[in-house]
Amino acid sequence: MAESTPLLLVSRPVEGVALLKLNRPERRNALNMALRVALAEAFRDLSGDPGVRAVVLTGEGSSFSAGADLNEYLEASTIEVFKRDMHRLWGAIAECPKPVIAAVNGYALGGGCELALHSDIIVAGRSAVFGQPEVKIGLIPGGGATQRVTRAVGKFAAMRLLLTGEPLPAAEALALGLISKLADDAEVETIALDYATRIAALPPIAVRQIKELVLASMDTGLDAGLRLERKAFQIIFSTEDKTEGIQAFLEKRPPRFSGN
């Protein structure tokens, strides 16, 4: 299990669920390099932890994350940014095989919005605000927003968000399909943990296969995606959890999934 650091609080509030909390509330959880490294290390640890079946990601205080810490960008050169290997730090999150649920309150801007978009389910408070304002300060997104936002909401909505840098209220984000669920601010983390708890109680091999297939659908054509699904469906018949799940349903009792 990943360990807490001053910048990233890690806990296991429910069996099978890890809770990661960005811990720079005085900076609205801006992503400096130390926090980015801590996040990547935590996700690598959790990816290989068989006791963790779902991850909830949120921020301490009033914001999820207001984006990159611009103090580290002001004087940075091309070579310095190149040497930071940011793609590897983002990759540790993107490659997590466990379902990731983002619990978003307050600001999720720039890199903070991109961080939320690395999750599989986004629960947002009614006062949450999303956006990619990089263009307003002479930058472009560097954590995948030009690709992930476009896949989530389509070309025309993505162009508006990325080219204007305008903030997107949570209600509009829901209407566009950028988030999964809108909730009262005080309930966001509770609802995210409830999703994670329910997912953690399901057969982990089936859950992992579903996540892989949905993500693959974003990069493959329909025919290729359907072939992947057929193979995964056939493989599931080798699992003990398949037999247990069907048997429990027929016997009208709760299933006892082992993860095998």
Q: In the prediction, which pLDDT does 4 show?
A: 82
The helix or strand, by DSSP H or E, that contains position 190, with its residue range, turns out to be helix 188-200
Token duo for residue 23: 């811990």
Beta carbons within 8 Å of 227's beta carbon, 6+ residues apart: none
Instruction: Give the residues across from 65 on adjacent strands.
Output: 108
Q: What average pLDDT does range 91-96 have in this prediction?
A: 94
Question: pLDDT band at residue 98, thresholds of 50, 70 and 90?
Answer: very high
Per the listing, tokens 């009614």 go with 126
CA distance 153 to 8: 30
pLDDT, residue 179, reads 97
Among candidates 209, 259, 211, which has minimal Cα distance to 51? 259
**Closest listed residue to residue 168, CA positions, set 131, 124, 134:** 131
Per residue in 197-241, pLDDT (tens digit) is 999 999 999 999 999 999 999 889 999 999 999 999 999 999 999
Question: Stretch 82-110: mean pLDDT, rounded?
Answer: 94
The active-site residue out of 134, 152, 189, 196 is 134
- Residue 134 is among the residues annotated as catalytic for this protein: yes
Q: How high is the mean pLDDT of the chain?
A: 95
Question: What pLDDT score does 156 carry?
Answer: 97
1 pLDDT higher than 80: no
Q: Does residue 72 have an active-site annotation?
A: no
Residue 84: the pLDDT is 85
Q: What's the pLDDT tens digit per position in 30-79? A: 999 999 999 999 999 999 999 999 999 999 999 999 998 888 888 888 99
Average pLDDT value for residue range 4-20 = 94
Residue 114 annotated in active site: yes
Cβ pair 57, 50 in contact under 8 A: no
Q: Which of 111, 125, 144, 245 is catalytic?
A: 111
Task: Indicate the pLDDT class of residue 81, thresholds 50, 70 and 90.
Answer: confident
Model confidence pLDDT, tens digit, residues 229-258 = 999 999 999 999 999 999 999 999 999 998
- Give the closest residue to 176 by CA, choosing from 145, 151, 140, 193: 151
Q: Please tell me which residue in 54, 68, 116, 128 is annotated as part of the active site.
A: 68
pLDDT value of residue 83: 86
Q: Is the pLDDT of residue 169 over 80?
A: yes
- Residue pointed to by tokens 């859950």: 207
Considering 103, 114, 152, 201, which one is annotated as catalytic? 114
Give 85-129 as a 3 state SS string.
Answer: CHHHHHHHHHCCCCCEEEEECCEEECHHHHHHHCCCEEEEECCCE
In this model, does residue 19 exceed pLDDT 80? yes
* Strands (E) located in the chain: 8-14, 17-22, 54-59, 100-104, 107-109, 121-125, 129-131, 168-169, 181-183
User: Which tokens belong to 62?
Assistant: 């009033």
Q: Which domains does the chain have, with CATH numbers?
A: 8-200 (3.90.226.10), 204-250 (1.10.12.10)
* pLDDT at residue 133 in the model: 97
CB 248 within 8 A of CB 256: yes
Whole-prediction pTM value? 0.94
% of the chain residues with pLDDT over 70: 100
Task: Please give the Cα distance from 209 to 234 (Å, whole number).
Answer: 11
Statement: residue 3 has pLDDT above 80: no
Token pair of 59, please?
């921020």
In angstroms, the CA 115 to CA 131 distance is 12
Give the pLDDT confidence score for residue 71 in this predicted structure: 87
Quote the tokens at residue 20.
Answer: 């990661």
CA distance 176 to 113: 15
